[in-house]
Amino acid sequence: MIPGGRAGTAGTAGTESTSRRIPQLGDARSGKLAGNIVAFGRALRRAGVRTDAMRIGLATEAVGLVGVDERADVCAAMEAVMVSREQDRMVFRELFDAWFRDPELANKLLAQMLPSAEGKAEPSKRRPRVREALTAPREPSKAAQTEREVDFDAAMTASDRDLLKHADFNALGASEYRLVERLARDISLPVPTVRSRRLRVASGAAQHARMHWPGVLQEAARTGGEMLRLPRMACREQPLPLLVLVDVSGSMERYARLLLAFLHASTRRAGRRDVFAFGTHLTDLTPAFRLADTDEMLGAASLAIDDFAGGTRLGDSLATLRRLHARRLTGRRTLVLVISDGLDTGEPHVLEDELLWLRRHSRRLLWLNPLLRFDGYAPLARGATVLHRHADAMLAVHNLGALEELAASLAKLMRSGR
């Protein structure tokens, strides 16, 4: 429904003139403007974009207001009312291009689905969420749906879960991505601990522990002056302060959200943790990480990050960290995790200087790189070369299996030297 004038003759005339002026999307013989927008909204939901009937109705009104003479205006109007999360914008735009513009879309999808054409069709460059949304799912029967739910519950403990464990995050569809994100929240990441200066009463005969003289006197008073047991004091064990720097550039789009959810859930019991996102500039996500619910944290982080899917300038971001947030580094005990693919677009000498400063003020600097999914990967890019030279180690974070091995790798690195 396209909004026109008010009730009466003037409103009817305004509506008729508006309908004559605006060309119709979809099938020009029947005029399926509203139907195409509704179908597009359902495709967005299949792609994992949060939209509902109210947003679809607003999109129809927005298209009626801006008209369809300019395709960019239609895209901008629908995006303004149908997309509320930054990570969904690129999915919306790719799906919009395929839905309303590409005349060869049906032929390409048909060629990909035909068994005889397997391996001959042009490889799709679209995102997995867009490809999944464009392929309309068939409606299963109630019996088949029930059987599928039973198979899902049973199979996720064996083969299906094993497949998802080794699947790259960048190759997952929308439904698989949501499932893997939930599974990642169940993976524990114990932060390595160190001995602090504070003391506690040792439970056993701790070595190199000082005598707890008040406890000695209390034990002697209970036994008539005989010192049968000598309590000792030992240093407390406390987790290392954690500083996390997450790359939110375009090449890290599929990894950033999932790794943020993983770190929020897995380091919940850690001590001090400071989290920053960096793209073209630095964004403090520590207030968002104080929220108890992971979904609420992701929502708050999405509102805070305004350079999502942009470029990567790690050197400038570290300079901002040094100027404004240097006190977040606790002595030389902080464990720093840099999550990035190393495709930095800034000046290498700026990154070199800032990494030298960060290395001097931290206990360990670890580079978590999703590009390690490729066999024979070498950090040949300018930023990757500098980051690899100053990092204590480079670890993989591209699938669930790598996240499960991350805790053991951290413990091993803390026990060994650089």
- 329 Rama class: left (phi>0) / alpha (psi -120 to 50) / beta: beta
Alpha-carbon dihedral of residues 103, 104, 107, 110, nearest 10 degrees?
Answer: -90
- Check whether residue 101 and residue 51 sit in a common domain: yes
Asked whether residue 227 is domain-assigned, the answer is yes
Is residue 184's pLDDT more than 70? yes
Tally of CA atoms within 13 A in the half-sphere of 267 that contains its CB: 30
- Check whether residue 328 and residue 379 sit in a common domain: yes
pLDDT at 50: 80
- Check whether residue 212 and residue 329 sit in a common domain: no
Phi, psi of 118 (to 5 degrees): -65, 130
Answer for the pair 316, 283: CB distance below 8 angstroms, yes or no.
no
pLDDT band at 279 (very low <50, low <70, confident <90, very high): very high
d(CA 119, CA 178): 28
Q: Which residue has the higher pLDDT, 175 or 79?
A: 79
Calculate the average pLDDT of the chain: 77
Asked whether residue 306 is domain-assigned, the answer is yes
Asked whether residue 223 is domain-assigned, the answer is yes
Is residue 272's pLDDT more than 70? yes
Choosing from 206, 238, 270, the residue where a domain stops is: 238
* Structural domain containing residue 291: 240-415
- Check whether residue 230 and residue 248 sit in a common domain: no
Asked whether residue 153 is domain-assigned, the answer is no
Asked whether residue 4 is domain-assigned, the answer is no
3-state secondary structure the chain: CCCCCCCCHHHHHHHHHHHHHCCCCCCCCCCCHHHHHHHHHHHHHHCCCCCCHHHHHHHHHHHHHHCCCCHHHHHHHHHHHHCCCHHHHHHHHHHHHHHHCCCCHHHHHHHHHCHHHCCCCCCCCCCHHHHHHHCCCCCCCHHHHHHHHHHHHHHCCCHHHHHHHCCCHHHCCHHHHHHHHHHHCCCCCCCCEEEEEEEEECCCCCCCCEECHHHHHHHHHHCCCCCCCCCEEEEEEEECCEEEEEECEHHHHHHHHHHHHHHHHHCCCCCCEEEEEECCCEEECHHHHCCCCHHHHHHHHHHHCCCCCECCCHHHHHHHHHHHCHHHCCCCCCEEEEECCCCCCCCHHHHHHHHHHHHHCCCEEEEECHHHHCCCCCCCCHHHHHHHHHCCEEECCCCHHHHHHHHHHHHHHHHCCC
- Check whether residue 295 and residue 362 sit in a common domain: yes
**Which residues does residue 299 pair with via DSSP β-bridges, in sequence order?**
none
d(CA 278, CA 266): 21
Asked whether residue 141 is domain-assigned, the answer is no
- Total domains in the fold of the chain: 3
Is residue 195's pLDDT more than 90? no
- Check whether residue 81 and residue 212 sit in a common domain: no
What angle, 0 to 180 degrees and rounded to 10, lies between the N-to-C axes of helices 253-266 and 174-184?
30
d(CA 6, CA 16): 12
Average pLDDT of the segment spanning 175-201: 80
296: domain CATH number?
3.40.50.410
Asked whether residue 134 is domain-assigned, the answer is no
- Check whether residue 203 and residue 268 sit in a common domain: no
285 exposure class (CB count in 10 Å sphere: 0-12, 13-18, 19+): buried
| pLDDT tens digits along 39-87 | 888 888 887 788 888 888 899 899 889 988 888 899 999 999 999 887 7
Tally of CA atoms within 13 A in the half-sphere of 94 that contains its CB: 18
- Check whether residue 409 and residue 312 sit in a common domain: yes
- Check whether residue 218 and residue 292 sit in a common domain: no
- Check whether residue 259 and residue 398 sit in a common domain: yes
Asked whether residue 365 is domain-assigned, the answer is yes
Choosing from 75, 98, 120, the residue where a domain stops is: 120
Dmax of the chain from CA atoms? Answer: 108
CA 79 to each of CA 24, 47, 52, 72, 405: distance values in angstroms, whole numbers, following the listed order: 19, 15, 13, 10, 40
Answer for the pair 344, 314: CB distance below 8 angstroms, yes or no.
yes
Closest among 110, 136, 125, 106 to 42, alpha carbons compared:
136
Choosing from 120, 153, 171, the residue where a domain stops is: 120
Return the structure tokens found at 368: 């978590």
Average pLDDT of the segment spanning 312-322: 94
pLDDT at 132: 65
| pLDDT > 90 fraction of the chain, expressed in percent and rounded | 27
Instruction: Compute CA 129 distance to the chain's CA centroid, rounded to the nearest angstrom.
Output: 15
CA 159 to each of CA 16, 166, 180, 359: distance values in angstroms, whole numbers, following the listed order: 60, 11, 14, 42
| pLDDT tens digits along 80-111 | 999 988 778 888 888 888 887 654 453 454 34
- Check whether residue 268 and residue 406 sit in a common domain: yes
- Check whether residue 215 and residue 250 sit in a common domain: no
CA 97-100-104 angle, 5° bins: 80
221 exposure class (CB count in 10 Å sphere: 0-12, 13-18, 19+): exposed
pLDDT band at 283 (very low <50, low <70, confident <90, very high): very high
Alpha-carbon dihedral of residues 339, 341, 345, 351, nearest 10 degrees?
Answer: 50
Average pLDDT of the segment spanning 234-244: 83
| pLDDT tens digits along 107-158 | 454 344 344 433 333 445 566 666 666 665 544 444 444 444 434 443 344 4
Average pLDDT of the segment spanning 382-393: 93
CB under 8 Å to 406, separation ≥6 — which residues? Answer: 189, 368, 395, 397
| pLDDT tens digits along 159-173 | 566 778 888 888 887
Of 106-110, 206-210, 260-264, least confident by mean pLDDT is: 106-110
